[in-house]
Structure 1
């Protein structure tokens, strides 16, 4: 299982992430349809057009198991666990300070 704090990069675009909350599902973490690799690892493959919605810098993405990744560098690929895209984590509004 991937550990919290692990940094990963896409093989097919500029996306880079850091694991915030690990889960076994992250063993199949992909970006742009290709498996993610460690920073600096050899890259190969092409962006899958079905997984080309892009990632947003500084945003967190989650799945149903509670796994959470933080985008540290945006890119053209969609983050997914296997064929299932990760969901953009909604920001909780701060309470009003009257």
Structure 2
């Protein structure tokens, strides 16, 4: 079975993210997947909106679906970070009692 070579920058090799993203871009594979698969935007729309080659969008989607464990781990890290940020930015002052 052939091994697929991706241009995607892995989270461990990235200087800007802890998750896979397009080279020379801050746009993550997870974000592209969310735009296309969860928000029902067409890959062409994402390419136009973010000034990407359409092949980059499809490569990110292929990477997402070919690496489910890595993407699940990235999503869990993102959810934990959001939970921590939400707790820290609460508008309710702490009890001094």
Query: What is the TM-score with the length of structure 2 in the denominator?
Result: 0.24
Structure of greater Rg: 2
Q: Which has the higher helix share?
A: 2
Higher relative contact order (CA 8 A, sep 6+): 1
Q: Could you tell me the TM-score, scaled by structure 1's length?
A: 0.24
